[in-house]
């Protein structure tokens, strides 16, 4: 359920100066809208790393421009840390701990005592080690605290006129590689480029999993007929980089 204006005002009255970790996705974009509307002081920060797309950076900038929110980019390279580059089971935890520690130092130097992220009530902490890191660092999650699930965020974003309302969820590029497969900047750039090429064919909400010489394409069941129709174009987009291109019949959206 979307909270009332009174509920929002009461919540942000307790957090009048709030920095926002803005990824350019639907959740953190809506949070930025809320802080712009209800906080006495706010600023949005985009953490630019090899694990995120530049298109998300552009979307984050557009959100801030729309609501006249000060926008800052923090450049980091988590791949310099072995626990992150090795891509083990706890990679997300170590990555979140690293980048949000750096971000907290920056926002404090900018005069903020509190930092918030876009975690919503639908996010399951038991399957996301990174959420444990955020809790340890005392990063606020207003959407989750206010009980907004993903669908609430999309509906409220549409009401607020946010172009991100229907933007598909997009986990970091490290998730395109199997656990314990070493992450490299070149590999992450390849994953991003392959997904851009598939998106150019009109597909949304998909994943291209990079597994050695194979690209495993995950599409919604509704898109399977179009995948067959566009088979040659899909192959043209992916076979330059992969020997095998497979269509995964078990779709795991948002992972």
Over residues 126-153, the pLDDT tens digits come to: 667 888 999 999 999 999 999 999 999 9
Q: How confident is the model at residue 251 (pLDDT cuts 50, 70, 90)?
A: low
Q: Say what the pLDDT of residue 129 is.
A: 83
Closest CA to 210 of 252, 250, 175, 253: 175
Please indicate whether the domains covering 5-166 and 184-248 agree at the CATH topology level.
no
Domain boundaries, the chain: 5-166, 184-248
- Examine the pLDDT at 171 and tell me if it is beyond 70: yes
pTM: 0.92
> What pLDDT does residue 227 have?
93
Give one word for 205, left, alpha or beta, with left for phi > 0 and alpha for psi -120 to 50: left
**74 SS3 class:** strand
pLDDT of residue 134: 94
- CB of 32 within 8 A of CB of 56? no
CATH architecture, domain 184-248: 2-Layer Sandwich (3.30)
pLDDT tens string 223-236: 999 999 999 999 99
Name the percent of the chain lying above pLDDT 90: 88
Q: What integer pLDDT is reported at residue 123 of this predicted model?
A: 85
> What average pLDDT does this structure show over 169-178?
92
Q: What is the pLDDT of residue 205?
A: 86
In terms of Cβ atoms closer than 10 Å to its own Cβ (0-12, 13-18, 19+), residue 106 is middle
Please tell me the CATH code under which domain 5-166 is placed: 3.40.50.620
């Amino acid at each position: 359920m979307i909270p009332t204006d009174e509920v929002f005002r009461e919540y942000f009255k307790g957090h009048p100066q709030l920095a926002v970790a803005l990824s350019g996705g639907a959740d953190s974009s809506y949070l930025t809208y809320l802080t712009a509307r209800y906080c006495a002081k706010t600023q949005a920060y985009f953490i630019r790393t090899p694990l995120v797309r530049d298109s998300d950076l552009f979307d984050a900038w557009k959100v801030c421009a729309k609501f006249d929110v000060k926008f800052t980019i923090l450049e980091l390279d988590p791949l310099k840390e072995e626990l992150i580059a090795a891509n083990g089971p706890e990679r997300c935890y170590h990555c979140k701990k690293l980048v949000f520690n750096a971000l907290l130092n920056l926002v404090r130097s900018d005069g903020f005592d509190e930092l918030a992220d876009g975690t919503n009530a639908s996010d399951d902490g038991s399957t996301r080690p990174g959420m444990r890191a955020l809790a340890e660092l005392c990063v606020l999650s207003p959407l989750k605290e206010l009980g907004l699930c993903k669908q609430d965020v999309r509906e409220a974003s549409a009401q607020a006129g946010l172009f991100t309302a229907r933007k598909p969820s997009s986990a970091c590029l490290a998730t395109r590689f199997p656990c314990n497969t070493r992450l490299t900047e070149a590999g992450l750039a390849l994953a991003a480029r392959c997904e851009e090429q598939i998106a150019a064919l009109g597909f949304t909400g998909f994943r291209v999993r990079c597994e050695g010489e194979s690209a495993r394409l995950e599409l919604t069941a509704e898109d399977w007929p179009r995948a067959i129709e566009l088979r040659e174009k899909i192959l043209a987009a992916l076979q330059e980089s992969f020997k095998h291109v497979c269509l995964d019949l078990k779709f795991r959206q948002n992972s």
